[in-house]
């Protein structure tokens, strides 16, 4: 850990191309002087301008950094999956009001947290307080902006695994988010779309969410107040139905759902899920055999081999 008590923590926009960041805030490898040593003739990148700052904490963890924060020395790990969402916001870099994108949020989680619960609460509270913007690379405009407006994160520590969804609120200055715990013997799949369905915010062992999440859906015009009350409000709130760009009631198709089906069919074959079934797949399923690293590698390489005849595709 390193002590930074009393200082400010700059918040920079996400960068996808080399160099993702140039400046003095992340160590010597990111400075203009070091980049000059790369030997790229005529290459002189500008210093990355911070969009704003928040108070720094007294101590931070070391972590592995890519486009997003990935794993820290406390063995907290985060995976990322861009999703479609019904609400969008622009970042401060593009004339909007949102300070945070998912890149900055995950880095702060890596720096400040040792557990998945801490990371989710930190990222959620910062996004609510300072605003959240979805992916802005490539720079999207019009309807296509909605296709990259949400984010799904897999947040895992040595004891628990969670899935977190986040998007802007209707003002563009705050955020809406929810998280669901994956049971210890289950597997969940995040295929570039929201997969959290019904949540119960009073069940704090298995769910977390932004304040007044049902009211946020009502205010945005995605949920009828009378229907919400009849269904139980935040004790029975359907996140994907309210906020997912891809959710269609009673349907279970699309590339994302096929990816979920493939993993579930391999790891929980007795459930007999069908790729063309018209009921939505569950958030997670119990794994029916022990899974090791090679199994995960095989699933990541899987292209539905051998399924053409059985599925009619």
pLDDT tens-digit readout, 54-95:
999 999 999 998 889 999 999 999 999 999 999 999 999 888
Do 232 and 284 belong to one domain?
Answer: no
The SS3 assignment for 118 reads: helix
Do 136 and 273 belong to one domain?
Answer: no
Do 242 and 254 belong to one domain?
Answer: no
Q: Has residue 80 been placed in a domain?
A: yes
Q: Is the pLDDT of residue 235 over 70?
A: yes
Average pLDDT, the chain: 89
Which residue, among 173, 143, 157, 151, has the nearest Cα to 14 in the 3D structure? 151
- Condensed to tens digits (0 to 9), the pLDDT of residues 178-192 reads 999 999 999 999 999
Q: Is the pLDDT of residue 139 over 80?
A: no
Q: Is the pLDDT of residue 295 over 50?
A: yes
The predicted structure's pLDDT at residue 251:
64
Contact at 8 Å (CB) between 151 and 165?
Answer: yes
Q: Is the pLDDT of residue 38 over 90?
A: no
Q: Has residue 142 been placed in a domain?
A: yes
**Residue with the larger pLDDT of the pair 165 and 20:** 165
Q: Rounded to a whole number, what is the distance in angstroms from the first to the last CA of the chain?
A: 53
Do 104 and 185 belong to one domain?
Answer: yes
Q: What is the domain extent for residue 286?
A: 249-313
Do 267 and 176 belong to one domain?
Answer: no
Of 191, 221, 247, at which residue does a domain stop?
247
Q: Has residue 7 been placed in a domain?
A: no
Q: Has residue 131 been placed in a domain?
A: yes
Q: Has residue 12 been placed in a domain?
A: no
DSSP, residue by residue, 230-270 = HHTGGGSEEHHHHHBSS--TT---SHHHHHHHHHHHHH-GG
Q: Is the pLDDT of residue 44 over 80?
A: no
pLDDT band at 254 (very low <50, low <70, confident <90, very high): low
The predicted structure's pLDDT at residue 312:
45
The predicted structure's pLDDT at residue 11:
96
Do 232 and 255 belong to one domain?
Answer: no
Q: Is the pLDDT of residue 41 over 80?
A: no
Record the pTM.
0.91
Do 262 and 242 belong to one domain?
Answer: no
What whole-number percentage of the chain has pLDDT above 70?
89
The predicted structure's pLDDT at residue 313:
43
Query: What is the rounded distance in angstroms from the CA atom of residue 25 to the CA atom of residue 251?
Result: 48
Do 76 and 165 belong to one domain?
Answer: yes
Q: Has residue 195 been placed in a domain?
A: yes
Across the beta sheet with 150-156, the strand order is: 63-65, 69-72, 77-83, 150-156, 161-168, 175-182, 207-209
Do 219 and 277 belong to one domain?
Answer: no
Do 159 and 240 belong to one domain?
Answer: yes
Do 229 and 135 belong to one domain?
Answer: yes
Q: Has residue 47 been placed in a domain?
A: no
Which of 18-32, 105-119, 258-272, 288-302 bottoms out in mean pLDDT, i.e. has the lowest? Answer: 18-32
Q: Has residue 157 been placed in a domain?
A: yes
The predicted structure's pLDDT at residue 250:
63
Query: What is the rounded distance in angstroms from the CA atom of residue 145 to the CA atom of residue 149?
Result: 6
How many structural domains are present in the chain?
2
Which residue, among 251, 246, 227, has the nearest Cα to 237 in the 3D structure? 227
Contact at 8 Å (CB) between 265 and 189?
Answer: no
Q: Is the pLDDT of residue 249 over 80?
A: no
Q: Is the pLDDT of residue 308 over 60?
A: no
Of 227, 247, 267, at which residue does a domain stop?
247
pLDDT band at 306 (very low <50, low <70, confident <90, very high): confident
**Residue with the larger pLDDT of the pair 173 and 28:** 173
What whole-number percentage of the chain has pLDDT above 90?
70
Of 194, 216, 247, at which residue does a domain stop?
247
Which of 22-31, 130-139, 222-231 bottoms out in mean pLDDT, i.e. has the lowest? Answer: 130-139
Do 156 and 296 belong to one domain?
Answer: no
The predicted structure's pLDDT at residue 305:
79
């Amino acid at each position: 850990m390193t002590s930074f008590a009393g200082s400010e923590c700059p918040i920079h926009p996400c960068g996808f191309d080399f160099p993702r960041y140039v400046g003095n805030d992340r160590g010597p490898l990111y400075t203009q002087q070091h980049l000059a040593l790369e030997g790229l003739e005529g290459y002189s990148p500008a210093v990355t301008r911070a969009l704003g700052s928040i108070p720094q904490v007294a101590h931070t963890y070391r972590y592995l950094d890519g486009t997003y924060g990935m794993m820290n020395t406390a063995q907290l790990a985060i995976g990322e999956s861009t999703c479609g969402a019904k609400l969008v916001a622009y970042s401060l870099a593009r004339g909007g009001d949102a300070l945070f994108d998912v890149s900055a949020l995950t880095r702060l989680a890596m720096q400040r947290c040792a557990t998945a619960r801490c990371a989710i609460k930190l990222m959620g509270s910062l996004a609510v307080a300072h605003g959240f913007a979805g992916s802005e690379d490539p720079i999207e405009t019009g309807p296509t902006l909605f296709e990259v407006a949400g984010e799904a994160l897999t947040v895992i520590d040595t004891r628990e695994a969670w899935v977190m969804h986040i998007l802007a609120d209707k003002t563009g200055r705050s955020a809406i988010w929810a998280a669901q715990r994956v049971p210890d013997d289950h597997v969940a799949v995040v295929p570039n779309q929201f997969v959290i369905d019904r949540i119960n915010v009073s069940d704090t062992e298995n769910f977390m969410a932004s304040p007044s999440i049902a009211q946020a859906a009502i205010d945005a015009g995605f949920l009828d107040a009378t229907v919400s009350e009849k269904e139980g409000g935040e004790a029975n709130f359907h996140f994907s139905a309210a906020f997912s760009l891809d959710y269609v009631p009673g349907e279970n198709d699309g590339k994302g759902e096929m990816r979920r089906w493939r993993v579930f069919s391999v790891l929980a074959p007795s459930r007999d899920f069908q790729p063309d079934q018209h009921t939505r797949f569950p958030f997670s399923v119990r794994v029916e055999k022990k899974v090791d690293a090679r199994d995960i590698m095989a699933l990541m390489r899987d292209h539905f081999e051998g399924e053409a005849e059985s599925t009619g595709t």
